[in-house]
Amino acid sequence: MKTLTRLLSAAALAGLFALPSFAQDAAAANPCESAERTELYTKYYEQKKNTNNQAPAFETAKQYLAKYETACPDQYSQAVRKFHDAYEKASGAAQVQNAFYTAVNAKDARKAIEAGRALAAREPDNSAVYLLTAYTAYNGVVTKGAPVYQDPAVMAETVAAANRAIEMIQAGKEPKDISGKVSWAPFKGREDALAWANFWAGTLQYKTAPEAAVKQLIAVAQSNVAEVKEQPTVYTVIAAALEGERAALAQKYTATCKELTPECEVMLANLNQFVDRQIDAYARAVAFEKDAARKAEWMKILEELYKSRNNGTTDGLQAKIDAVRTTPLLVTTPVTTPPPPTPTPAPNGQTTPEKKP
């Protein structure tokens, strides 16, 4: 075996595996010195040279290890094992990657979710897995006629994937393509990807988690990504998500506020804030909507809300609609103390605080 050891050392210097020259005199008693082992190792070695297709070398390596790894735990068996494990790992990763990207390209939401889980287990820091899962699944649940259209389970998976993508991107984990290079495709960049991910999660969870939905859609509206922030759905969903809180507060106000106590003044101020935010949201939906029928629908709702806050008139409403591109989305904080009294003219022309009823 001195000859075998010398050959292995020379191979290490050259960066290649040496072809063993096993001694033949002890072949009958020692399988590690057999011609059969030499031939199988030689076959593996020659096949391994073909870096374009090492599948045959992998199959030969399996045969070699099955016959000689336990009996001959030397440098040669260790080298074959190292190649075998590395190839198996890379092969398995490639299969998972191919399954995921095939599902994404085929717009198959369920398969993308399933393969995405497997790929995320192998690439836990790759935000592309979650971005593309959410992208594929969202398109499936909102497309009429798609197998997963309006599917609650897929909607939940979409929201979870979008939220995980947002979390990872904000933590600095960039998306990588199948080759391992940073790639934001099919998005234009970081802000574009975040805006769409917030849009997907916000629009799908406004019924189940309205506060979270509003927060995410505010992020969309405050972004610089016009393609997303000018989607009318952003604003109709904000208005719809706010409606639950407004309705609950209105019911409480009606039931408890027979007089305008300080507590009721606070409730009324918050009610008015909800309506003002809904007016602002619907004004943006009307401004951005291109479909005439939907625009008319949003306009009808907007007019009623606007009248309720403007003495039954729509004076100034069109100017508000026209200004949405140059004014920020209305965001308020809850009122916690009664507003100051509204001044009223005194007989001498000065003002005096209005008395509470």
In the chain, what are the domain boundaries? 109-229, 230-343
CA distance 270 to 334: 6
Q: Is 101 left (phi over 0), alpha (psi -120 to 50) or beta?
A: alpha
Q: What is the pLDDT of residue 204?
A: 97
- Closest among 97, 206, 208 to 218, alpha carbons compared: 206
Q: Which two tokens stand for residue 292?
A: 């005439």
Q: What is the pLDDT of residue 305?
A: 97
- Closest among 148, 158, 144 to 200, alpha carbons compared: 158
Q: Which two tokens stand for residue 196?
A: 């769409």
Count of Cβ atoms closer than 10 Å to residue 143 Cβ: 14
Q: What is the pLDDT of residue 11?
A: 35
Residue 274, C-beta contacts closer than 8 angstroms, at least 6 positions apart: 242, 245, 246, 249
CA distance 208 to 213: 9
In the chain, which stretches have pLDDT less than 70?
1-29, 92, 342-357
Q: What is the pLDDT of residue 23?
A: 42
Q: Which two tokens stand for residue 269?
A: 């101020």
